[in-house]
Structure 1
């Protein structure tokens, strides 16, 4: 038989566990958003490099990169031997874990230019 001393103990246990559950949920949501942002950066880097390799203008390629990665993303274009190199990066902030520059996410892609001197044969080529 109960003598009444345990009355409300489940409420107290719930109150103690609630902040831990909320923190775990915040970390899980932050990781999901971080993963989604990384995928967007990868897509932007590949698409920008592909456009440059096809001979599109730098402005057009940058527009595509910003459309996919977001306007706040930084896009750097360079060369690595015969390849065009693109690096897309952005600051990722989790406001409940500190400052606005908690993580820097980035992605890189390279593509070899098509056409004459690019090494890709056109129609009827080898």
Structure 2
């Protein structure tokens, strides 16, 4: 009775498993990049809102936020009652496909403008 050779079976198993491992690694790396981008957006939104609350011109505050968030970031500045609201968003795409946006990460921050001449925020009593 002849016995079968199993010499190439581990190579075949590795070849079948390799695409799944590569896809898993790409997913983990993509999640990490999205997480780091979200942190940058949060920092940019807070910095921009803080600059506006200090009385800086909106264009100057957005430039400060742009340095943190990156050139692709989109800023929206508006009012929310007595507060100034800043929303920063950035589209996430697959760079090697050049396709449509997969998702849009967004961060928001609000700050109350300082009272003119007092240096205090929002009319609190001394």
TM-score category (smaller protein): 0.7 to 0.9
> Aligned residue for 1:109?
109
Q: C-alpha distance in 2, partners of 1:59/1:95?
A: 29
Q: Which residues of structure 2 form unaligned runs of 5+?
A: none
Q: C-alpha distance in 1, partners of 2:87/2:69?
A: 11
CA RMSD of aligned residues (A): 2.1
1:9 is aligned to 2:9: yes
> Aligned residue for 2:86?
86
5 Å-filtered alignment, 1:55-74, equals: 55-74=55-74
Contact map agreement 1:49 1:85 (CA 8 A) in 2: yes
Q: C-alpha distance in 2, partners of 1:98/1:60?
A: 32
Deviation at 1:72, TM superposition (A): 1.2
Q: C-alpha distance in 2, partners of 1:98/1:27?
A: 18
Contact map agreement 1:82 1:118 (CA 8 A) in 2: no
Deviation at 1:7, TM superposition (A): 1.7
Name the count of aligned residue pairs: 122
Paired residue secondary structure (1:7): coil
Task: Provide TM-score, normalisation by structure 1.
Answer: 0.88
> Aligned residue for 2:51?
51
Deviation at 1:100, TM superposition (A): 3.1
Task: Provide TM-score, normalisation by structure 2.
Answer: 0.88
Report runs of 4+ in structure 1 exceeding 3 Å deviation. Answer: 95-98
Q: Which residues of structure 1 form unaligned runs of 5+?
A: none
